[in-house]
Structure 1
Amino acid sequence: MSADQTPRVHRLNSTLANQIAAGEVVERPASILKELLENSLDAGATRITIHLEGGGVDLLSVEDDGVGIFPVDLALALERHATSKVATWEDLQAIHTMGFRGEALPAIASVSRLEIVSRAHGQKQATRLQVTGGATGAPEPSARAPGTTVRVADLFFNVPARRKFLRSASAELSRNQKVLRQIALANFPVAFQLFQNGRALVQLPAALDADSRAQRVASIMGEGFLANALYIEQEDQGLSLSGWLGLPTYNRARGDEQYFYVNSRPVRDPVITHALRASYNDVLFQDRHPLYVLYLKLPPERVDVNVHPAKAEVRFRDSREIHDFLFHTLRRVIAEQGGEHPQVTVPVQPLSPAPAVQSSGSRAYQHPTQRPLSAVQDGSGAYWERLVAPAMTFVSTPDMPAAPPQELAPDYPLGQALAQVHARFILAQNRAGMILIDQHAAHERILYEKMKVAVQQNDKQVFIIPEYLHVTATQMACFEAKQNALQAAGLEISVAGPGTLAIHAAPKAIAAATYGQIVADLLAEEPTWTAKDSDAALADMACRAAIKTSRRLSLEEMNSLLRQLEATPRFGQCNHGRPTVVQFSLPDLDRLFLRGR
């Protein structure tokens, strides 16, 4: 390249510079909505109304009742790096507002037709300013109540290449709704409305007390989440964590219902993600994801939010302290939830009547035909008279003595065992109602926790005579790959000869005679755990040692299992995250049989 062809350094014009900045800030309508909502919140708004057309591509309007903008500041607000939120280096080190860069409005204005109408409190009239593709018009007087309205129309009209990357109106609408949910969950005192093409889609009134805040969470996350979540409030050394933590058994295949806020700012951070995921270890089923809405508060100077153009990432001054606080707090809450919330509560629905089996009790009935479910769910109040009473024929058995009154179960969380169902579930009752316990999953959790304690305390049973195990070449290769994990899990195994392994010691939690078969099972198929994952190895061992589904248990054995389970951490789930206990409350049972109607 000759000297006259060498590119010269030159200053970009403001429009092009703003369009380049828009590539970082303005990705789609949802990113614009996020920036405008944050501006409204920083302005102290208590009511925010959103209007969309075409999913926000044709029009996106945000109206608020905030402090407004003075006429002399309106044009300046559309210049890059012009802001009212930071002024000094010290302000940047302790940011209290959602926005602070001063880039969003000029970036949006450079790729759309933007209009701002604002009236500051104390002003007699509002001022309108229009910007088309970065070209600013003259301010005009307008009418409006105190506050600000920002209208963004024809997004990317002057950058058609960017417009091609937008999706359908319904897809963009869905992204906008997700942004609104994310903002609404962190700003309970603010009322939100969302309209699409003039039709109201979201109406969230201000939530000023605990009940209304819970109602907002339920309206966004679903009633099922609120019924299967723990509300927590924990503080330690200037750190505060609060919010709703979903039970491990209430999970999803995707992690799209996880909301975490740092000083009311929704963020993504690997430190937070790892701490939360680790908190659910041992109780979350395979590739499932928990649900939560959590709020971390800490002094602003302990977190740097100025690390990402969209302010979606943060950097902590002491990430290890934050990680340990989150991990230990949430892990303790999940472990302790077995006391107050020991089981999943399942709402039951009436079943369609089926032919009954003759009872040996004092009264029996015969049901002639099966009725459809819709008849049982009939709310007309005539269910008994029309369907049940005519079909019941009572047989008197005066010689049968009346059953003695049943005593209430002892005041244990899991109550008292009554029977076994299909050699698979334990039927018990407590003061709240009826309980079903998965006997294999329950015993699996008990053994796993005992084995972990044994390994931590190096409490091993040493075999005077080693347990010899004959293995195939494939099993021997698997042993060599997983030997470190097995050793970390408390198993001392050596190669005793060609195709032979010798087990010398193992954790005390399981009978010595069972370890030969357990190790054989572990090596029969490729384990999913890594070479150093001792907890996963223990979980597999506990699963194989637990009582099987077909095992018949006596009442004494069942009650013994329940008492052990109550004393076990995180007993609401097995090692793979499946529920061990399901509670049916008395009101649920009453509804099942239409009692009280």
Structure 2
Amino acid sequence: MADGRIRRLDGTLANQIAAGEVIERPASILKELLENSLDAGATRIRIQLEGGGMDLLSVEDDGIGIPPEDLSLALERHATSKVATWEDLQAIHTMGFRGEALPAIASVSRLELLSRARGQNQAARLQVTGGVATPAEVAARAPGTTVRVADLFFNVPARRKFLRGPGAELSRNQKVLRQIALAHFPVTFQLVQNGRTLTQFPAATDADDRAARVAAVLGEGFLANALHIEQEDRGYALHGWLGLPTYNRARGDEQYFFVNGRPIRDAVIGHALRAAYADVLFQDRHPLYVLYLTLPPERVDVNVHPAKAEVRFRDGRELHDFLFHTLRRVIAGQGGVHPQVAVPVRSLPPRAATATSLPLSCATRQVSAGAVNEHAGAYGEHPLAPAALGAGGEPAGPAEWVPDYPLGQAVAQIHARFILAQNSTGMILVDQHAAHERILYEKMKNTSHQSDKQTFIIPEYVHVTAMQMARFAERQNDLHQAGLEVSVAGPGTLALHAAPQALPAAVYGQMLADLLAEDPPWAAGDGDAVLADMACRAAIKTSRPLSLEEMNDLLRQLEGTPRFGQCNHGRPTVVQFSLADLDRLFLRGR
């Protein structure tokens, strides 16, 4: 028991305390050892595990190796070859630099360090048990280093109780390897568990090989639904793969972000990414991405956390703006990229009817151009721009298909819900409500600023209940951010003075009453969420019949709308079926 006197800690105890910060489980050890191998210039790294790394974890590389005279020094705290001065610490180029990992690992395990430096005729081996080392001895090995860590936490059994089963620990090790492999494409990695190879990543030296490694980690579906980006600005360089909003997961476990080759977690970066996907991602879903940020080392401080998983940026606001605007622009400009659907091949059930009893028809409601409406729902109808015309001045139909349109020409409407169209690559299905919702939302955003709003000479008066008036008092600022200028005109009456130009005044009046009639689904201070809610309410409803003119006009508007691949809630608006998909469906070419 301590008596209040200050003492210098025993070296082994100090290392065990340090181990509590950087060595949480086998995966923590694997990360540190892989970083050491990469800093040593390794091109081939082999990992061996037993018991998920709890019984044995070995990392073998072909790096520069450690000279025999430095072998014991490598196991002392704060001994490192990576930084020597304060200036080095301000611009770190290596993965490791603290000089804590090896001694911390050796203090809670049985560690063997075997290394041969390049240019040396023989290797040297050093063994450490619970922080106590034996003299180094001559050994045989090709140039490089092997670190074997056995019986993790054998001398601190309380720590070992916090580990999970071999399967769970193996999974954590595999996640670490995937992160490192995605950051260091030229290096070959092999993972062996109990003598069986589980993972092999060949060296990726060109664009195709790098894409293949990404596909091996996140799946082929990710590459088919991802945008490859390369952007530079203000000293920042961002490249990688950004998943389409429609290709998402229930958990954020397939998100990889690297800063100067280091996998990191950072609040600034996380917020910028969430904001970039804010109005295109379905609720409670998470995007997939593999992104690489490169910036001068002096602009980022990696000496923040012992595990080096967190960093601090010199100008976080500038970086946030760069990431947000870059990624949002890329998502908005995805153009003709649509989710690809794998079409299952099914046999149709036998029918007794003959072929003549199966007529094919496409009934569409023909209306004049003046009767074409943008929507028909709770907020009435109003005219839309003239429909796309064919060569003879008449509305273009399927017979006058224009292949230059990304979304093609409308062919029919399915169950008054989906628009069926064909383009040069195959068949397209469009969700009419979701598509119109995105169109209206983007129009409202563009016209919600004071200079772009429509101002009403005579205000639109809206009669509300006491409850609605109370909600208005709470949400007036949110409505103002969304471009709605509303004031109290008297007891139970609100006056609407201005609104975005996307819809007529009468539509906004009824919509305002509806918005205040229920608990708002948006968070306080989020004007865009109010616009999204209004766009959803005003969009063409499911079960609304459309003519070919209306369908084609909707397609043309959608093509010119940013982020048109998703509605405001993140659901897909457009799905592409390629001709190859259709051929597979009908077994063509088999």
TM-score norm. by structure 2 comes to 0.90
Cα distance per residue 1:285-321 (max 9 Å; x no partner): 1221111000001111111111110111111111122
Task: For residue 446 of structure 1, report the CA deviation from its aligned partner.
Answer: 0.6
**SS of residue paired to 1:441:** helix
**Distance in structure 2 (CA, Å) of the matches to 1:56 and 1:543:** 52
Cα distance per residue 1:6-41 (max 9 Å; x no partner): 611110010001001111110111000000000010
- Residue equivalent to 1:505: 498
1:555 counterpart = 2:545: no
Task: For residue 410 of structure 1, report the CA deviation from its aligned partner.
Answer: 3.1
1:296 counterpart = 2:289: no
Cα distance per residue 1:485-541 (max 9 Å; x no partner): 012211122333443333232222012222233223222321121232110000000
Residue in structure 2 matching 1:346, options 341, 353, 371: 341
1:251 counterpart = 2:237: no
**SS of residue paired to 2:185:** coil
Q: State the one-letter code of the partner of 2:568.
A: N
Task: For residue 351 of structure 1, report the CA deviation from its aligned partner.
Answer: 2.1
**Distance in structure 2 (CA, Å) of the matches to 1:418 and 1:564:** 17
**SS of residue paired to 1:268:** coil
Task: For residue 407 of structure 1, report the CA deviation from its aligned partner.
Answer: 5.8
What are the ranges of 5 or more consecutive residues in structure 1 without an aligned counterpart? 365-404
Residue in structure 1 matching 2:468, options 447, 472, 475: 475
**Distance in structure 2 (CA, Å) of the matches to 1:502 and 1:235:** 47
- Residue equivalent to 2:126: 129
Tell me if the contact between 1:409 and 1:429 (Cα under 8 Å) persists in the aligned partners.
no
- Residue equivalent to 2:371: none
- Residue equivalent to 1:433: 426
Cα distance per residue 1:50-109 (max 9 Å; x no partner): 111111111111111111111101000000011111111111111111001110000000
**Distance in structure 2 (CA, Å) of the matches to 1:22 and 1:504:** 65
Q: State the one-letter code of the partner of 2:555.
A: L
Tell me if the contact between 2:125 and 2:139 (Cα under 8 Å) persists in the aligned partners.
yes
- Residue equivalent to 2:85: 88
TM superposition outliers: structure 1 runs of 4+ over 4 Å? 355-364, 405-408
1:275-354 paired onto structure 2 within 5 Å: 275-338=272-335, 340-341=336-337, 343-354=338-349
1:219 counterpart = 2:212: no
**Distance in structure 2 (CA, Å) of the matches to 1:155 and 1:12:** 23
- Residue equivalent to 2:567: 574
Task: For residue 460 of structure 1, report the CA deviation from its aligned partner.
Answer: 2.7
**SS of residue paired to 1:564:** helix
Residue in structure 1 matching 2:194, options 183, 186, 197: 197
Cα distance per residue 1:150-183 (max 9 Å; x no partner): 0101111111111111111111111111100110
Calculate percent identity across the aligned residue pairs.
Answer: 78
- Residue equivalent to 1:409: 402
- Residue equivalent to 2:519: 526
1:347-366 paired onto structure 2 within 5 Å: 347-355=342-350
Task: For residue 420 of structure 1, report the CA deviation from its aligned partner.
Answer: 0.3
Say which is worse superposed, 189-198 or 71-80, in terms of deviation. Answer: 189-198
Q: Kindly tell me: are residues 406 and 491 of structure 1, through their superposed partners in 2, closer, same or farther at Cα, counting changes over 3 Å?
A: closer
- Residue equivalent to 1:8: 5
**Distance in structure 1 (CA, Å) of the matches to 2:235 and 2:495:** 53
- Residue equivalent to 1:372: none
**SS of residue paired to 1:344:** coil
User: How many residue pairs align between the two structures?
Assistant: 552
**Distance in structure 1 (CA, Å) of the matches to 2:302 and 2:554:** 50
Q: Kindly tell me: are residues 427 and 359 of structure 1, through their superposed partners in 2, closer, same or farther at Cα, counting changes over 3 Å?
A: farther
1:539 counterpart = 2:536: no
Say which is worse superposed, 108-117 or 506-515, in terms of deviation. Answer: 506-515
**SS of residue paired to 1:185:** helix
Task: For residue 475 of structure 1, report the CA deviation from its aligned partner.
Answer: 2.6
Tell me if the contact between 1:458 and 1:490 (Cα under 8 Å) persists in the aligned partners.
no
1:14-413 paired onto structure 2 within 5 Å: 14-338=11-335, 340-341=336-337, 343-355=338-350, 408-413=401-406
Tell me if the contact between 2:201 and 2:213 (Cα under 8 Å) persists in the aligned partners.
yes
Tell me if the contact between 2:450 and 2:483 (Cα under 8 Å) persists in the aligned partners.
no
**SS of residue paired to 1:467:** strand
Cα distance per residue 1:316-360 (max 9 Å; x no partner): 11112211111111111111112x41x211121112313567666
**Distance in structure 2 (CA, Å) of the matches to 1:317 and 1:217:** 30
What are the ranges of 5 or more consecutive residues in structure 2 without an aligned counterpart? 361-397
Say which is worse superposed, 164-173 or 471-480, in terms of deviation. Answer: 471-480
**SS of residue paired to 2:448:** helix
**Distance in structure 2 (CA, Å) of the matches to 1:524 and 1:419:** 37
Tell me if the contact between 1:29 and 1:60 (Cα under 8 Å) persists in the aligned partners.
yes
Task: For residue 282 of structure 1, report the CA deviation from its aligned partner.
Answer: 1.4
Cα distance per residue 1:398-426 (max 9 Å; x no partner): xxxxxxx9665331111101100000000
**SS of residue paired to 1:532:** coil
Q: State the one-letter code of the partner of 2:343.
A: V
Say which is worse superposed, 521-530 or 51-60, in terms of deviation. Answer: 521-530
**Distance in structure 1 (CA, Å) of the matches to 2:544 and 2:276:** 33
Task: For residue 544 of structure 1, report the CA deviation from its aligned partner.
Answer: 0.2
**SS of residue paired to 1:296:** strand
Task: For residue 238 of structure 1, report the CA deviation from its aligned partner.
Answer: 2.2
Task: For residue 139 of structure 1, report the CA deviation from its aligned partner.
Answer: 0.6
Q: Kindly tell me: are residues 588 and 132 of structure 1, through their superposed partners in 2, closer, same or farther at Cα, counting changes over 3 Å?
A: same
Q: State the one-letter code of the partner of 1:318.
A: D
Tell me if the contact between 2:465 and 2:492 (Cα under 8 Å) persists in the aligned partners.
yes
Tell me if the contact between 2:419 and 2:430 (Cα under 8 Å) persists in the aligned partners.
yes
Say which is worse superposed, 488-497 or 73-82, in terms of deviation. Answer: 488-497
**Distance in structure 2 (CA, Å) of the matches to 1:90 and 1:504:** 60
TM-score norm. by structure 1 comes to 0.89
State the Cα RMSD in Å.
Answer: 1.9
Q: Kindly tell me: are residues 303 and 71 of structure 1, through their superposed partners in 2, closer, same or farther at Cα, counting changes over 3 Å?
A: same
**Distance in structure 1 (CA, Å) of the matches to 2:468 and 2:239:** 48
**Distance in structure 2 (CA, Å) of the matches to 1:254 and 1:47:** 32
**SS of residue paired to 1:576:** coil
Q: State the one-letter code of the partner of 1:572.
A: G
**Distance in structure 1 (CA, Å) of the matches to 2:554 and 2:573:** 12
Q: State the one-letter code of the partner of 1:435.
A: I
Tell me if the contact between 2:47 and 2:191 (Cα under 8 Å) persists in the aligned partners.
yes
Q: State the one-letter code of the partner of 1:102.
A: G
Tell me if the contact between 1:482 and 1:530 (Cα under 8 Å) persists in the aligned partners.
no
Tell me if the contact between 2:433 and 2:540 (Cα under 8 Å) persists in the aligned partners.
yes
**SS of residue paired to 1:458:** helix
**SS of residue paired to 1:437:** strand
1:449-460 paired onto structure 2 within 5 Å: 449-456=442-449, 458-460=451-453
Task: For residue 237 of structure 1, report the CA deviation from its aligned partner.
Answer: 2.7
Q: State the one-letter code of the partner of 1:347.
A: A
**Distance in structure 1 (CA, Å) of the matches to 2:312 and 2:148:** 33
**SS of residue paired to 1:337:** coil
**SS of residue paired to 1:152:** strand
Tell me if the contact between 1:119 and 1:126 (Cα under 8 Å) persists in the aligned partners.
yes
Tell me if the contact between 2:268 and 2:316 (Cα under 8 Å) persists in the aligned partners.
yes
Q: State the one-letter code of the partner of 1:276.
A: L
**Distance in structure 2 (CA, Å) of the matches to 1:161 and 1:138:** 30
**Distance in structure 2 (CA, Å) of the matches to 1:428 and 1:221:** 32
Cα distance per residue 1:448-474 (max 9 Å; x no partner): 111111112533333444433333333
